[in-house]
């Protein structure tokens, strides 16, 4: 298995960046298509400055990057970092989901004394 | 689907999973207390667990190993921190070397299990607490199970497209 390693500071940054629902939504959106900060501001009914702040947090966590196109700044998602974050957040959950479905199977078995 | 909810609290380094079972708490307790039942679900299907010691009493020690597809063994230990059958069980879960001695370089997770009555069975809540993100990362990087989270489900779907 190839492990995309991220150091502890960046893990902290990724976790706190993704702890906010709006920021998670921005990441999802800009992964689909690049979007300008002003287009995002319209979408969330937020001020340009508020969205700019969210984007800056995501940028520091390297979840998104910005590029200038004319007068606009386009935000785009960083697939590598997002994949690493998804792995960190998800694998422990996957372990427990696996365990719980096995417990379910054990509990579904007839116990001694039950009429078959 | 028996899993009711999962909660991640990255800042507190806590992960909670809640599941409902159609069996009374006394029965669900057995899957923890009976080593033969416990070893049928603790390890992933490709790494089945064998418990060589299992003491669910305050300060009690459990020792186990999981056997991989190539016959390789991964050892682990539990230490019971709190226990009240058939309601609560709290334990530290750590790694051990091939002699079964605790491996201090590997992360220890504090797990808290709560069993509650529901109208038709049991609600089990498990909260896992990690000492640091580094430890959480070490654990998730063990690579025993591949998976992605529900909260990140949307992102997952997009990653599949790209």
* ipTM score of complex: 0.75
Report chain A's mean pLDDT, rounded to a whole number: 78
Of the candidate ranges A18-32, A98-112, B8-22, the one whose mean pLDDT is the lowest = B8-22
User: What pLDDT, in 10s, does the model give residues B103-130?
Assistant: 887 778 899 999 999 999 999 999 988 7
In angstroms, the separation between the Cα of residue B95 and the nearest Cα of chain A is 16
Partner residue opposite A92 with nearest CB, options B23, B140, B151: B140
Partner residue opposite B148 with nearest CB, options A8, A90, A103: A90
Q: Which of B23, B135, B138, B155 to mutate to test the interface with A (most CBs of A within 10 A)?
A: B155
Tell me, what's the pLDDT at A11? 63
- Given the structure tokens 């000492």, which residue do they identify? B131
Report chain B's mean pLDDT, rounded to a whole number: 79
In angstroms, the separation between the Cα of residue A18 and the nearest Cα of chain B is 9
Cα–Cα distance measured from residue A74 to residue A97, given in angstroms and rounded to the nearest whole number: 38
User: What pLDDT, in 10s, does the model give residues A24-66?
Assistant: 889 888 887 889 999 999 998 889 999 999 999 999 988 899 9
Q: What percent of chain B has pLDDT over 90?
A: 40
Contacts of A3 in chain B (CB under 8 A): 141, 143
Is the Cβ pair B134, A8 closer than 8 Å? Answer: yes
Residues 94-153 of B with CB under 8 A from A: 124, 126, 128, 132-134, 136-137, 139-141, 143-152
3-state helix, strand, coil in chain B (%, to 5): 20, 45, 40
pLDDT band at B55 (very low <50, low <70, confident <90, very high): very high
pLDDT band at A101 (very low <50, low <70, confident <90, very high): confident
Tell me, what's the pLDDT at A3? 37
Peptide bond into B32 cis (omega under 30): no
Chain B, nearest residue to A101 by Cα? B2
Q: Is the pLDDT of residue B159 over 50?
A: no
Q: Say what the alpha-carbon torsion angle B18, B12, A50, A44 is, to the nearest 10 degrees.
A: -10
Cα–Cα distance measured from residue B99 to residue A105, given in angstroms and rounded to the nearest whole number: 32
pLDDT band at B95 (very low <50, low <70, confident <90, very high): confident
Of the candidate ranges A87-101, B17-31, B32-46, B52-66, the one whose mean pLDDT is the lowest = A87-101
Is the Cβ pair B156, A86 closer than 8 Å? Answer: yes
DSSP-assigned states of every residue in B52-72: EEE--STT-EEEEEEE-TTS-
Residue ranges of chain A whose CB lies within 8 Å of a chain B CB: 1, 3, 5-6, 8, 11-12, 15-16, 18-19, 24, 27-28, 31-32, 79, 82-83, 85-104, 106-107, 111
DSSP 3-state assignment of A77?
strand
Is the Cβ pair B44, A103 closer than 8 Å? Answer: no
């Amino acid at each position: 298995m190839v492990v995309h390693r991220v150091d502890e500071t960046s893990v902290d940054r990724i976790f706190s960046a993704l702890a906010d629902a709006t920021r998670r939504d921005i990441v999802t959106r800009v992964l689909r298509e690049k979007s300008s900060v002003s287009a995002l501001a319209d979408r969330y009914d937020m001020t340009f400055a508020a969205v700019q702040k969210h984007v800056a947090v995501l940028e520091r966590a390297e979840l998104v990057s910005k590029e200038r196109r004319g007068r606009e700044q386009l935000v785009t998602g960083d697939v590598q970092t997002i994949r690493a974050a998804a792995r960190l957040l998800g694998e422990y959950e996957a372990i427990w989901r696996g365990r719980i479905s096995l417990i379910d199977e054990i509990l579904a078995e007839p116990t001694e004394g039950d009429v078959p | 689907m028996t899993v009711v909810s999962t909660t991640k609290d990255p800042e507190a380094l806590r992960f909670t999973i809640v599941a409902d079972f159609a069996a009374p708490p006394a029965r669900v307790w057995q899957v923890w207390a009976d080593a033969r039942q416990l070893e049928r679900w603790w390890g992933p299907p490709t790494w089945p667990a064998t418990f060589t010691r299992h003491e669910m009493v305050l300060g009690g020690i459990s020792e186990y190993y999981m056997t991989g597809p190539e016959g390789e063994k991964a050892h682990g230990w539990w230490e019971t921190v709190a226990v009240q059958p058939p309601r609560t069980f709290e334990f530290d879960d750590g790694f051990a070397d091939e002699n079964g001695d605790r491996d201090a370089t590997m992360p220890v997770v504090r797990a808290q299990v709560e069993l509650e009555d529901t109208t038709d069975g049991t609600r089990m809540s498990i909260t896992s607490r990690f000492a640091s993100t580094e430890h959480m990362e070490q654990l998730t990087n063990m690579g025993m199970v591949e998976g992605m989270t529900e909260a990140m489900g949307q992102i997952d779907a997009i990653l599949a497209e790209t």
